[in-house]
Each structure stands twice: as structure tokens, then as C-alpha cells.
Structure 1
């Protein structure tokens, strides 16, 4: 079995006395490699390498960083087949494999954005003095990435930090480290040693990173519980945090919506990547007068699709990522209240791998567990509303505030809902659209801060006011 190593200070690095855990192919349930669960000494070595590299990297010009990141983006494209093969083995998901191209797009965007940071104009705001604002890198950034889109998330985290002149210690999810390590290996051809470091491990390694005295900032994409843990740990050192903590996305369907488009949008938005997306179209709120018709159409459409391995061209999506996630998704269906019913699906598919049938559940209520907790699986709930006010109330009733979508042919309705929905992303008559130029991040317990766009770049800068007397 292949034994993976961390990548620290520009080279593969032994993990010292760290324990190792098996990586499981979710298509077969069989181990294919081992990876370290990095201990405190290993975390410290990575942080020290990043800290030593920061003084040099911060003094490079945005133009210099741009050229290096553009070179890295081109190199990723050249090695796309190798990256995709590694991604498919650790996720079993064509959706995750197809997202690898976005890593290059994000690198290219942030490479250019670092050269166009805006701010207040310099001027004489006090007589005899010139004042201006500097945007500076903040230092070493500890970054914790999830397992649903491993390679794309590695780039989404590291690209803005690197472009702004910071150095990075990145921890991919413990079940999916392979592509992040390969990313670091490729990056070493362009970036100075210590600028981008990747270490493996689970929650305890992440906690050690957040607690370490070196990082100035900690970024996480993960669950609310993990976010609370990381934020609490980071708070002891008053570190800056950027948290994207999942969602419970409402899909609000009005009676005048084009139901053919709605069904297509829900099936794609809810089932892509086996529903393992924090913005999955999993919670359908539909006008009562078209509830039965939409439910019938959705039942037929969902029953017609199935999961399968990446080489199964007839499958819409792949397996859940790991055995624990399969158990979690199953638990939502096993503990349904009596008033809810499974319309289609609702169970594991096969006995090897972590496949789960596409599922529709009707009759749910707003306070049911399945209506309030993020499932992160191929499960869609359907619930009626009788007025616009009720639709807004139901949509906003959860603790999450990441993403939502509205389906209507009435422009005024769309404008009212986009203003009233308490979510960081609102789509109208579409779902799962993520241009790199636009910010992504949530409200409430979905976290704070932004990924993507110039707002994402600003997360990794600090603002310094300088005033010089000349009179």
C-alpha cells in the first residue's frame, strides 16, 4: 500500500512519530494508501517553515507572485489526468474530479487580483500631513479543507492567501489528502520552500494548527461543530478566523415557476456529488397549489437516476465519502417522524462502497431533524407553504445562512425574496453557480468571511494607516 508523506519546506517530509491511518476508496470500501495523523512536533515543523519563508515571500511584488501562480496554474492543467485519477480514487466522484479545472481558474484570478487591490486615496486629510492606507499580508495562514471537493478546495483556500503575500500550512481532510499533497509537490516547482506546506491529519491535527502560536489566521470549511471548536481554539491567541460552516439550503418554488426547469435544477443541485455540497438544493419549499404536481415530477425524475462508480457513464453521482458519512445519512431516514414519508429511495445501494439511493422525503415539518440539520447526502425534502410570508419564514427558520434559491417568473417576487432571504448567496431560477469573481460565504451559523472574489483576497490582508507630516 502506498504510504503518503507530508510536504513541508519544499519537499516530502517524514511525519516523525505520528500515527498513520488508512485511506479508503469509497467505491470499493478497500484501503489504497496510508497517511499520517500529524502530531504536535510535525505541526510545529510546518509552522516554523512557513514562518521562516514569510519574510521573503511578503517582499515579492504582486507582479512576481502573479507570474509564479500563473505558472502553477498551467502546470496543474498539464498534469490534470494525474490529479483527476488521484481525486477519483479518494472520492469516487466524477463531480469532484471535474472540479479540478476550477483550481487553475482560481489561481489565475487571484494572481491578477493581487495587483488591483483597492482602498482609500492618499491625501491631506489633516493640514500638513499626508495619509494613506497600506494593505499588507497578515502572516502564516493555517487552512483546513473538507473532503467533498479536495483539490478545488485546496486551491480555493491557498490561492488568495498566497497571492496576497502570505505563507500557508494547509491540512486537507483526513480521508482525502492525496491531491492536496500532489498540488504542493507541483507548487514547489514555482514557489520558494516553505511558502505552501501540506500536512495530513484529522480533527486533532487541525486543533493543534489552530492553537499554534505562529499562524495569524485560521480558515476552515467544515461543519458548525468543527467551526465552533476551531474558533474557540483560535480565540485563545486572538487569531483571525474565516469560517464556511455548511448550510441547509432552501429552494423556494412559487406557483408561477417553470416546473420543468425547477425539477432539473433540483435534481442537479441536490444530487451532484451525492449531495455532498454545502449548498445542495436539499430543502424544497413549494407553493401549496403546485406541491403535489412538483412532488410527482420530482419523484419520477429522482427515481430515474442512480449512483455508480466514476467509470459508470449511466450514473449521475458517486458514493458518499466514507463509512461514517454513510451511517450519518442513513440515520436521517431511519429516524423519520411518523408524519414524514419516503417517496423514493431511502437506503444504501449495494454492500460494497458507500453508495446511497437518491431520496425524496415528503410530509416533513420545519422542526424535524431532517429539516434543520445538514444531511450532506443525496436526500431531498419537500414541504408546502401557503403564502410568501410563510415561505420566507420557513426558509429563514434554520440556523444556517449559506445559500438559497428562488424559482419564479415574476420579477417583483424575485426582488423581494432576494432582499428578505437571510443567506449569503441567493440564486434566482438557477442553482450551484459559482463564478470565481463573486464572493461565497454565509451568515448566522454558516460562518463569517468570504471565499472567492476580491472579498476573499481581502480576508488575507491587514490594513495599516500611515500618516506622514511634511509641514
Structure 2
């Protein structure tokens, strides 16, 4: 009989409990069964960890970029060495297929750690000069202090690294809270850093929404970073503004994939299906809307429906499963509700049902003939559901694509290079792909427009977000 997993916070390099000793259940989304618990962190514990992080910052902030690089590289090696432990933890926590984590998300997380290790030594600086007679000016880039961070449940391990790595590389100390339903890999990440990073530089605490509210309300952090919903981002922005904290907001998406008549339709359908149904559609970058030119509309809908039959959900141990379950029973109800409430003009051409048995599984679903005002078009679903609508001109395609409150990512499918360039300029999205959808790389920026917020991740921009600039002027004498 297996022993229930009992997580602990990692504070000051030590596994620790909470004052109230309250806990939250850990539920396997592939079976619906409870398999452990995580601590519920309250204000008293938040206050303590902020003090620990603030003390650690004093020493970490004056280390050289080279020292920080070496620490992050050692940490990356430790994560890679413990790869199977991370894969097991992430798959049980999320229900994702083994291979998705082993060959995809874990290597990307390690790559991000190594990228920011190198980026720590390559921060841009302006040229020093005499801009006032008799005085020399130069700019210093300095860390902010303690960074409080919260990430969503969509990609627990990857998002933890994407938040923590640039903050540490820039010289900050971190207090990180994973999502309530997926804390396991973040705790394991902190445990793997013990003995590699100085105690207190990285602290991971578990908890719920109130734990996050306590973090942003605390006076110590100089910055609060969140990956989450628009609603959560607005709440954080308001709370941060009350104390003039810097807010780093990476919020939702409702990504359009725009397919023109000259596109390779079968190839487009395969690429869009992978971007729509991969991770059970639980990604802010998922291709959740497909806009299709009239002349290829029927063909594309048919190809997508065929792809939906191939993309079959299943538990991590099923080698034929293309994606796993939804995050929770609540998320399953939310996704099913969108399909159940479809207006009469919309057609479900594939999927549309929950899978029977245990776990929170929902079929890969294609809904055709949707209209711009439908909630399936306007709202982020975070499930394996793609909405398909038609357009008759390039101008109409742009209007439909931009006609939602989100602006995170988009893709264009066409053989016409000039059209691709026009569309990439016209689309209101932080990332635009051409004939592909969803790859992100550490070297290039990832940011959003409109209600997807304007936080910049990856590349040198990710490092700059976690630092501040100081002008120093000295008289020449």
C-alpha cells in the first residue's frame, strides 16, 4: 500500500510546516482520487518567509553575475539528473502523458535555467558619457529585491522555472507559490536547489487564493508576478497599485489561427489540432479559435474533425493517449458547460462529450459555424475545444481575429509571404506564427497585448523585467 504524499513548504532551504497546520488535498486528475496533501499557508507564515527572503537578498544581490551563472547551471544539472522524479511528479499532478513531460516540458525547463544562467552575464548597459559638462553619467542595472510570484496550473514545472530563473539571475530573492491544485513539481524544484542556491534565495510555499493575496499585500516584495486569469491579474494589479509595487502580469489568451484559401489545408489542420488539443487545450497559447476562408472552410472543418478522432485523451500510463485530463472536477464542469450552452447555429462536428469512468477527461471537440458574439469565441475555455468560423476577406479576418479582449498569440496559415507579413503587422498579439502554432523559444520575447497584459518573458526582456535602472553621475573634478 502506497504512502500518501505529504508536501512541505521550502523556506530558507528547509522543509517546513505552517503555524496552523492546515492542509489542501492533492487530487490525481486522471483518476479523481486524493493521493496526498499540501500545506495551506496563512498570513503568519507569509510574514515569516518574506523576512527570510529579505535577509537572503542582502547577500545574493551583491554576488557577481558569474557566481549566479554557476549556481543556476549547477541547479539545471541537478534538475536534469533528477529527471525521472520530476516526470513522475508532474504527470501525477497534471495527468499529462509521460512523453509530453519527459521529451517536452522538462527539457524546456532545463533549457530556460541554462539560458538565464548565461543571460545573467550579458545584461545590456548604456554607454557612459559626459552629458553635462564636467560630469560623467552611467547607468546601473540592479535587482528589485524580493519578488513574490504565483503561477497557474497549466504548465506547473515550466511556468515555475520561467518565473524563478530570470528573477534569480537578476539578483533577486524569490517567494513562489504554485497553483493550489498543482504544487508538487514546484516543491520538488525548490528541494533540488537546496545546497546549490544560498538558503532563503528561493522559497516555495503552497496555498490557495488567500495565500496569494497575503503575498501581494505584504510590504516586503518590490514586485509581484502572476501567470493566471484576467480576473486574477486585475485583482493583483489593484492590490499592487495600492502599495506602488511593480506588477508582472501574464494573463489569458484566446488565440486565433487564421487559415487562408491558399494554405496547405491538411498540414494546417494537423498543426492547429496539435496546438488546440495538446495539453488538453489547457494553455493560454492554445489555438482555440480557427478563422477559415470561405473557399476552404468545409475542407478545413472536415480535416479538423478527422484530427479530433486521432487526438484521444487518456491517463499518463496509456502510451496511446494524445493528451491527459482536465485539471480538476471544477474545470471539467466549466468546459462541459461551454459545449452544453452552444447556440442553435453552432455545430459540434467532433467530440463534445465527457469521457465515462474515472478522471476528468473531455474529448477533443470541434465546433463549427460559431459567430463572433458567441461565448465560445469571446471567453477563454482552457479545454480541448476549438471554435471554427468563416471569413471572406483579409480585412474581415483581421477584424474577427482582433475582436476579442485578449491579445497573446496568433497564427497565420498561407503560402503568400506578403500576406503573412501584412497579417503579422495587423494582428494584435504579442507573438505571431506563420504556418506553425505554439513553439516558444528562450531567446525571443513572449508578451501579450490588451487583456493578456504586457509582461515580457524570455529573452533579455525577461531579465530586464526583474531589474531596475539607476542613473549615477559623478563630477570629473
TM-score bracket for this pair, using the shorter chain length: over 0.9
Q: TM-score, normalised by structure 2?
A: 0.98
Root-mean-square deviation over aligned CA pairs: 0.9
| Secondary structure of 2:437's aligned partner | coil
**Residue number among 255, 260, 264 corresponding to 2:270 in the alignment:** 264
Q: Is the 8 A contact 1:246 1:278 kept in 2?
A: yes
| Secondary structure of 1:422's aligned partner | coil
Residue deviations 1:99-154 (CA, integer Å, cap 9, x gap): 01211111111111111111210011111100000000000000001111111111
**Do residues 72 (structure 1) and 75 (structure 2) align?**
yes
Measured after TM superposition, the shift of residue 16 of structure 1 is: 1.2
Q: Is the 8 A contact 1:29 1:354 kept in 2?
A: yes
| Secondary structure of 1:35's aligned partner | strand
Q: TM-score, normalised by structure 1?
A: 0.99
Residue deviations 1:314-370 (CA, integer Å, cap 9, x gap): 111010111111011011001111111111111111231000000000111001000
The aligned counterpart of 2:391 is 385
**Do residues 10 (structure 1) and 16 (structure 2) align?**
no
The aligned counterpart of 1:366 is 372
**Do residues 121 (structure 1) and 121 (structure 2) align?**
no
The aligned counterpart of 2:163 is 157
The aligned counterpart of 1:446 is 452
Q: Is the 8 A contact 1:144 1:221 kept in 2?
A: yes
Measured after TM superposition, the shift of residue 96 of structure 1 is: 4.3
| Secondary structure of 1:219's aligned partner | strand
Query: What is the 5 A alignment of 1:92-171?
Result: 92-94=95-97, 95-96=100-101, 98-171=104-177
**Residue number among 258, 283, 295 corresponding to 2:289 in the alignment:** 283
Query: What is the 5 A alignment of 1:189-208?
Result: 189-208=195-214
The aligned counterpart of 1:240 is 246
The aligned counterpart of 2:29 is 26
Residue deviations 1:37-56 (CA, integer Å, cap 9, x gap): 21001111111110010110
The aligned counterpart of 1:218 is 224
More moved, 247-256 vs 120-129: 120-129
**Do residues 310 (structure 1) and 316 (structure 2) align?**
yes
Distance 1:62 1:253 in 2: 45
**Do residues 177 (structure 1) and 180 (structure 2) align?**
no
Distance 2:418 2:108 in 1: 34
Residue deviations 1:159-185 (CA, integer Å, cap 9, x gap): 000000000000000111111111101
More moved, 400-409 vs 228-237: 228-237
Distance 2:21 2:291 in 1: 48
| Secondary structure of 2:158's aligned partner | helix
| Secondary structure of 2:244's aligned partner | coil
The aligned counterpart of 1:47 is 50
Q: Is the 8 A contact 1:124 1:130 kept in 2?
A: yes
Measured after TM superposition, the shift of residue 464 of structure 1 is: 0.3
| Secondary structure of 1:103's aligned partner | helix
Which stretches in structure 2 are left out of the alignment for 5+ residues? none
Distance 2:295 2:69 in 1: 54
The aligned counterpart of 1:60 is 63
Measured after TM superposition, the shift of residue 451 of structure 1 is: 1.2
**Do residues 468 (structure 1) and 466 (structure 2) align?**
no
Distance 1:444 1:3 in 2: 40
The aligned counterpart of 1:82 is 85
Q: Is the 8 A contact 1:96 1:150 kept in 2?
A: no
**Do residues 231 (structure 1) and 237 (structure 2) align?**
yes
The aligned counterpart of 1:350 is 356
Residue deviations 1:264-322 (CA, integer Å, cap 9, x gap): 11111101110001010110000011101111111112123310111211111010111
Q: Is the 8 A contact 2:277 2:311 kept in 1?
A: no
Distance 2:101 2:87 in 1: 9
